[in-house]
Amino acid sequence: MKLLAGNSNLQLAGDIARYLDMPLTQASVRRFADEEVFVEIHENVRGEDVFVVQSTAFPANDNLMELLICIDALKRASAKRITAVVPYFGYARQDRKPGPRTPISAKLVANLITVAGANRVLSVDLHAGQIQGFFDIPTDNLYAAPVMSDDIVARYGSENMMVVSPDVGGVVRARALAKRLDNAPLAIVDKRRERAGESEVMNIIGDVEGRFCILVDDIVDSAGTLCNAAAALRAAGAKAVVAYCTHGVLSGGAVARVEGSELMELVITDSISRPEIANAQKLRQLTIAPLLGEAIRRIADESSVSSLFD
C-alpha cells in the first residue's frame, strides 16, 4: 500500500500517514510557468495499492486537475489499484438540474475521475447520497458523525441538548447525530431560499426554549444559513447555539460573519485545509485523519468499512 498526497490538504494527508505509520509516497506535484499541472512519481508503484488524498476545494478546478493527473500518472506507472480519497467532493451541490439548460456537474466530475483511471473512491459526507450512484466504480461515503458526537459529549454532555437541522433537507443527517447523542430531541429550521447564497429563516419546528441547540450540516459556505438559524433559535428562547459542519468551505466573509453571529462556536473538520481559522475566536477544527486512515487500512485489507459506524 502507498499513500500519495496532492497539494490541496497536505496536513491531513500527513496526519493520515502518521495514523497508518507509513511515509507519504515521494512525488512532485507542481505547475509549469503557464499553470499547467505536472506530476512525477519518484517511487516504484508497479503492482501497488495506491491511495491519492486530494480534496477538490478552492481552487476547485486546480485541485480537481491535480487529482486527475495524479491518477493518470499512477495508472501509467502500472499501479494495481488506485483509490481517490476525496475528503471534500467539490461540485457535489450540482447533483441535479435546478432549472432548464443547467448541468449536473457532480456526474461530470464522477465521470472524469473514473475515466482518469481510479478504481474506487473514498469520500466523507457527500452532499447528496445519490452521488455514489454517479460513479461506475465502488464508492465509500464515510460519515463524520462519530467524530462530532464524541466531541459534543466531551464538551457539552451535561447540557440539555437538542439537535437542530438548518433546513428540511438535512433532517436525516440531524436525526443520525441525535441518535448517537442518546436520542436527543430534534428541531428543524424552516427556511426559504430566494436565490443562491441567500436564505431567510421563517420559523422553528420544535420547542427550543431553554435548550442547548446543536446545529448540524454537511457544508458551511457563506455561513448565512447557520447565522440566520442561530439568531432565530436564540430569539425562540434557546440557551445557546453551537454548529457542527463537516466541510468548512467558508467563502467570502464567512469567518467574519460567524464571529459576529449568535453562534457560540462553529466546529468544522479538516476535510478542507483552513489554516486561517487559527486566529478566529468562534471557529474550531476536528481531525478526521483517524477516520480516513482506518477506512484506508480496511480497504487495503479487504475488510468491512461499514462496520466503522456500527
Is residue 15 part of an annotated ligand binding site? no
Which residues have a catalytic role annotated?
191
Specify the pLDDT at position 122: 97
Q: Per the structure block, which three cell numbers stand in for 144?
A: 463524520
Q: How do the domains of the chain map onto residue ranges?
A: 2-142, 145-287
Point out which residues pair with 219 in neighbouring strands: 247
Q: Is the pLDDT of residue 199 over 70?
A: no
pLDDT at 168 over 90: no
Which H/E stretch holds residue 229? helix 224-235
% of residues, the chain, pLDDT over 70: 96
224 labeled part of a ligand binding site: yes
- Indicate the pLDDT class of residue 278, thresholds 50, 70 and 90: confident
Q: Encode 198-236: b = buried (16+ Cβ within 10 Å), e = exposed.
A: ebebeebebebeebbbbbbbbbbbbbbbbbbbbebbbeb
193: pLDDT strictly greater than 90: no
125 is an annotated ligand-binding site residue = no
Which pLDDT belongs to residue 195?
62
| pLDDT of 35 higher than 70 | yes
Question: Which phi and psi (to 5°) does residue 157 adopt?
Answer: -60, -25
**CA 26, CA 8: separation in Å to the nearest integer?**
16
pLDDT value for 194: 61
**Is 259 known to sit in a ligand binding site?**
no
Using pLDDT thresholds of 50, 70 and 90, give the confidence band for residue 285.
Answer: very high
Q: Confirm or deny that 93 is annotated as ligand binding.
A: yes
**2-142 and 145-287 agree in CATH topology:** yes
Mean pLDDT of 116-135: 94
Q: In sequence order, which residues have a C-beta less than 8 Å from that of residue 212 and are 6 or more positions away?
A: 156, 159, 160, 161, 162, 238, 239, 240, 242
Q: What is the pLDDT of residue 197?
A: 57
Which residues on neighbouring strands pair with residue 189, listed in sequence order? 204
Residue 198 pLDDT greater than 90, yes or no? no
The answer, yes or no, to whether residue 196 has pLDDT greater than 80, is no
User: Cα–Cα distances in Å, from 49 out to 76, 77, 122, 301, 304?
Assistant: 14, 12, 14, 10, 17
Q: What is the pLDDT of residue 190?
A: 86
| Position 174 pLDDT exceeds 80 | yes
217 marked as part of a ligand binding site: yes
SS3 283: strand
Q: What CATH fold (topology level) applies to the domain 145-287? A: Rossmann fold (3.40.50)
Residue 96 in marked binding region? no
Q: Which helix (H) or strand (E) holds 265?
A: strand 265-269
Flag whether 218 is marked binding.
no
Helix (H) or strand (E) holding 10: helix 10-20
The 10s digit of each residue's pLDDT in 215-257 is: 999 999 999 889 999 999 999 999 999 999 999 999 988 999 9
Report, as an integer, the average pLDDT of 291-296: 97
Q: How far apart are CA 286 and CA 270, in angstroms?
A: 6
State whether CATH 3.30.200.20 applies to domain 2-142: no
Q: What mean pLDDT comes out for the span 114-122?
A: 97
Specify the DSSP element, H or E, that contains 219: strand 212-220
- Rounded mean pLDDT, 103-120: 97
What's the pTM? 0.92
